[in-house]
Chains A and B, each alone.
Chain A
Amino acid sequence: MTTLHVIAHSPFGDERLASCLRLLGPQDALLLCGDATYALQAGTEPFAALQAANLGERLFALAEDLQARALDSQLAKVVDYPAFVELTLHHDKVNSWL
Chain B
Amino acid sequence: MKFAIAVFSPAHAPSSRRALRFAEAVLAGGHEIARLFFYQDGVHSASANIVAPQDELDVAAQWRAFVSDHRLDAVVCIAAALRRGVLDDTEANRYQRPAVNLPMPWELSGLGQLHEAAQLADRLVCFGGD
Interface pair B25/A94, CB less than 8 Å apart:
no
Mask of A64-78 contacts with B, CB within 8 angstroms, 1/0: 110000000000000
Residue of B nearest to A62 (CB): B18
What is the bound-complex CA distance between A86 and B30, given in angstroms?
Answer: 11
Task: List the A side residues contacting B122 at CB < 8 Å.
Answer: 89
Which of A71-98 touch B at CB < 8 Å? 81-82, 84-86, 88-89, 93-94, 96-98
Instruction: Please judge, given known A-B contacts A8-B18, A81-B22, A82-B28, whether A88 and B123 are in contact too, CB under 8 Å.
Output: yes
In the assembled complex, A36 has its CB within 8 A of some CB on chain B: yes
Interface size, B (range): 20 to 34
Query: In the complex, how many angstroms separate the beta carbon of B78 from the nearest chain A beta carbon?
Result: 20
Task: List the A side residues contacting B125 at CB < 8 Å.
Answer: 6, 88, 94, 96
Query: In the complex, how many angstroms separate the beta carbon of B103 from the nearest chain A beta carbon?
Result: 28
Task: List the A side residues contacting B3 at CB < 8 Å.
Answer: 88
Task: List the A side residues contacting B24 at CB < 8 Å.
Answer: 81
Give which listed residue, A9, A10, A84, A93, contacts B22 with CB less than 8 A.
A84
In the assembled complex, B31 has its CB within 8 A of some CB on chain A: yes
Residue of A nearest to B128 (CB): A98
Which of A4-25 touch B at CB < 8 Å? 6-10
Give which listed residue, A8, A10, A89, contacts B128 with CB less than 8 A.
A8
What is the bound-complex CA distance between A89 and B2, given in angstroms?
Answer: 10
In the assembled complex, A35 has its CB within 8 A of some CB on chain B: yes
Interface centre among B18, B22, B129 (most CB of A within 10 A): B129
Among all A-B residue pairs, the 8 with the closest Cβ atoms: A8-B129, A81-B25, A98-B128, A96-B126, A35-B130, A34-B130, A9-B129, A85-B25
Q: Taking beta carbons and an 8 Å cutoff, which residues of A are in contact with B?
A: 6-10, 33-36, 62, 64-65, 81-82, 84-86, 88-89, 93-94, 96-98
Given A8-B127, A82-B29, A88-B125, 20 other A-B residues pairs in contact with their CB atoms under 8 A: A8-B14, A33-B18, A34-B129, A35-B129, A65-B14, A65-B18, A82-B28, A84-B22, A85-B26, A85-B29, A85-B31, A89-B1, A89-B123, A94-B124, A96-B126, A96-B127, A96-B128, A98-B8, A98-B126, A98-B129
